[in-house]
Chains A and B, each alone.
Chain A
Amino acid sequence: MRGILAGRRKPLGRATALAALAAALIASAPTASASADGPTFALKPVSPTETGYFIFKGQPGQTVKGAVRVLNVGTVAGRTSLYAVDATTGQTSGAVYRSRRDPRRDVGAWIKLSKGSVSLAPGQSRVVPFSVQVPAGTSAGQHLGGIVAQRSAGKSKPASSGKEGNGFKVRIQELSVLAVQVNVPGAEHAEMDLTGIKAGSQPGHQSVLLGIGNTGNVLVKGRGTLRIVSKGGHVAQRSSFGLDTFVPSTHIDFPVYIQGKALTPGRYRGTVSISYRGHDLTRTFPFTITAAQTAQVFGTQAAQQTPIDSSSSDQTLVYLLAAVALLSLGAAFYFWRQRRPA
């Protein structure tokens, strides 16, 4: 019961209570207030490409050159940071791009941009040359990274002002990413791997996680199916799914959400089949759904909660009591002055 509004539970007058209730109801409605328009940065190859992003062929030890155009398509002037990152595979498959803080070991480390930031007026653009230095000894295959434009921190849009002390605020950061794919000549092989099945833990949505990896050296896409059978032989789930771009040398726990009746605690066997680039791979894995996992998905989250911050609630109560005491003292002083003989 000590929720976010717990500090309000002091006895109140009817009007005050109604006002507080109204305020609480208003405050509980999610909002998406707009802030002022800002600069919006976009990237595109200077020379048109058939893919819309860069694909270079680079021998180990070779340096190739490119140029990216940075545009401000927003309504006000601003500054953007430019940096390179590695790509990886997102948990739901599909190529995604690592953050600026992540170590760069592949294409992100090979790219040297001639500028780390650019300031542009609305409608302006600037060409930023860059080089891609493929290290000696780089393995053959497709390597993926990207160039990122990120609005400089000083210009980011502020989160809206929620009600202090009992609110949730979401700040949005926008990035523009232009992929850079480097194809290192040599034997290409497409190879995927299936490594296991385990229960997912997303609250409210029961899922199982399929261990899938790209152990080859090329980008692959594919499709798959999952069949789950209970210990008693009952088919508990049949699902099909798509696999978006899978980056070489990456592994994910791919979530498949359980449709229809939830899996009850118990032991199961799951058969996963995937098809990619003309290859088919099928594996069967045993897995267990525990009562704790089911509770985590569907039940209260008490088990994973941090303890109640009683000090915070107590502090609020102390402040309220102090305020009431001050008001009472003030009122007493006022009446004392009123009744005092002139």
Chain B
Amino acid sequence: MFSGVASGRSIPRLPIATVGAALYLALIPAMAHAAIGFVGATTGENGSGSASLSIAKPAGVVEGGVMVATVTAAGTGSVTTPSGWTVVKTLTQGSLRQATYYKVAGSSEPASYSWSLGSSRAASGGIADYSGVNQTVPVDAIVSAGGESGNAAIPSATTSASSDLVLAVASFATGTTVTSDPSTTERVDVKSSSNTSNLADFVQATAGATAAKTATPAVSSSAWIAQTIALRDASQATLSATTTAAPSFSANLNSGDQAKTFTVPLTVSDTRTGVGSGLGWNTTITSTQFSTGTKTLPTSISTVTAVSSACLNGGLCTNPTNVVTYPLAVPAGATAPTAVKFYSAAAATGKGVFTVTPTVSVAVPQNSFTGTYTSTLTISVVSGP
């Protein structure tokens, strides 16, 4: 039951040199992450069917822990979310519904949770409880897949943070036993008369694409649904911004002044937890004026005309409330002058991972010198008043 994710770190009988090296690594100031830990799991099923599915609270749940539930129900009808739970994703395939949820445990939790099925339907499900999960933005990534028969192909997800715990969730439209992928640790495997729920997990140490997994049912002739849900490590909670953009453009000036635009998609992540969560953030911009090295363009030619924002972590964001108005002149000079705020998230907003994309218009004067012009945009993400 308590074969937690972190348990594999114990070091039995190692040579002295190895122990010394381990001690050295443990003592250097740079800290590696703290892992998400498995606390416990429970399952529930309602036999040949009833109007609800009850699943007990796992043992060991404490305030701040994150519970993840998977529910599989016969038929495609909806499933009512219990109070306090948040839907991660709900899907149908053939005559099967799969829904996943999370809940950050409060100081007092009931002994069990009930999912209303609307009518008498066979259902199965389970709850897995984890410690060390980011309570503000628990989910880093979600992807799903489905099929009419065969094994459940649990798809690759792309995580954005280090040391995620990845859940491989599978549902089958038959009551069977399921073998989780051998590279995962099975936490839930339960069946009703006509469907099966399976949940396993594995650690994704570094951000990037997870390996695809397979859940293998004993009876493989039924429809299946799979979800990959990456849980975010609380120790990685922070406010950050990054971009891979390196915009470039050309302008034909033979027909007069040119208004060219480019975008700078930024990934802004506000996953701060505890008292520091939901405080909002600001982004600021400044620039060096376009220059060939010897010739420069005017300092007033760049303007932010719009900024868009989109949630990246499966829609599980609190969208930013932005008060900046546009157009907004981008400061420019031989050295970058004082910045201006170009997008902000008011307090209690902007929680999650977003693509924030400013569109910058550049009014290139007709009578400019020939040459290759460069400019450096300095973009800051700020936690401050």
Contacts and interface: CB of A to CB of B under 8 A. Distances in A.
Interface in B270-294: 272, 274-276, 279, 282, 284, 286, 290
B247 A7 contact: no
B329 A53 contact: no
A122 interface: yes
10 contacts: A3-B253, A33-B248, A34-B244, A92-B324, A93-B341, A123-B33, A126-B29, A173-B378, A177-B383, A313-B370
A257 interface: yes
Contacts of A122: 162, 206-207
Contacts of B331: 91
Contacts of B243: 172, 174
Contacts of B328: 92
B7 interface: no
A206 to B, nearest CB: 11
Q: How large is the interface on B (under 10, 10 to 19, 20 to 34, 35 or more residues)?
A: 35 or more
A168 B260 contact: yes
Interface in A286-338: 300-302, 304-309, 312-313, 316
Contact of A219 (B236, B369, B385): B385
B381 interface: yes
Contacts of B24: none
A185 interface: no
Contacts of B375: 168-171
Nearest to A252: B338
Nearest to B370: A312
A55 B265 CA distance: 32
B301 interface: yes
Contact of B162 (A4, A30, A52, A123): A123
A174 B379 contact: yes
Interface in A101-156: 101, 118, 120-127, 144, 146, 148
B385 A42 contact: no
B241 interface: yes
A148 B251 CA distance: 35
Nearest to A23: B250
B249 A28 contact: yes
Interface in B221-240: 235-240
A45 interface: yes
Contacts of A244: 323, 341, 344
A40 B240 contact: yes
Q: Which of B32, B246, B300, B363 has the most CB of A within 10 A?
A: B246
Nearest to A148: B380
B279 A52 contact: yes
B370 A28 contact: no
Interface stretch (A68-76, A189-197, A276-284): A68-76
Interface of A: 1-7, 24, 27-38, 40-45, 48-53, 71, 73-75, 87-88, 90-99, 101, 118, 120-127, 144, 146, 148, 157-179, 181, 201-205, 219, 241-242, 244-245, 255, 257, 300-302, 304-309, 312-313, 316
Q: Which of B260, B341, B370 has the most CB of A within 10 A?
A: B370
B18 to A, nearest CB: 20
Given A99-B336, A123-B205, A309-B295, A4 B251 contact: yes
B109 interface: no
Given A30-B248, A94-B282, A96-B339, A125 B372 contact: no
B368 A165 contact: no
B246 A96 contact: no
Given A4-B253, A28-B250, A91-B340, A171 B385 contact: no
A170 B369 contact: no
A118 B272 CA distance: 22
A172 B341 contact: no
Contacts of A50: 275-276
B303 interface: yes
Contacts of A181: 384-385
Nearest to A157: B246
A95 B241 contact: no
Nearest to B249: A30
Contacts of B373: 167-169
Contacts of B368: 3-4, 305-306
Contacts of B339: 90, 96-97
B372 to A, nearest CB: 5
A306 B295 contact: yes
Nearest to B267: A40
B379 A173 contact: yes
Contacts of B108: none
B374 interface: yes
B246 A125 contact: no
A103 to B, nearest CB: 13
A308 B380 CA distance: 36
Contact of A179 (B33, B206, B262, B385): B385
Nearest to A101: B335
Q: Which of A42, A50, A121, A146 has the most CB of B within 10 A?
A: A42
A121 B206 CA distance: 10
B365 interface: yes
Contact of A4 (B163, B252, B257): B252
Given A96-B339, A171-B376, A44 B276 contact: yes
Q: Which of A53, A177, A201 has the most CB of B within 10 A?
A: A177
B247 A160 contact: yes
A21 to B, nearest CB: 10
Contacts of B272: 44, 52
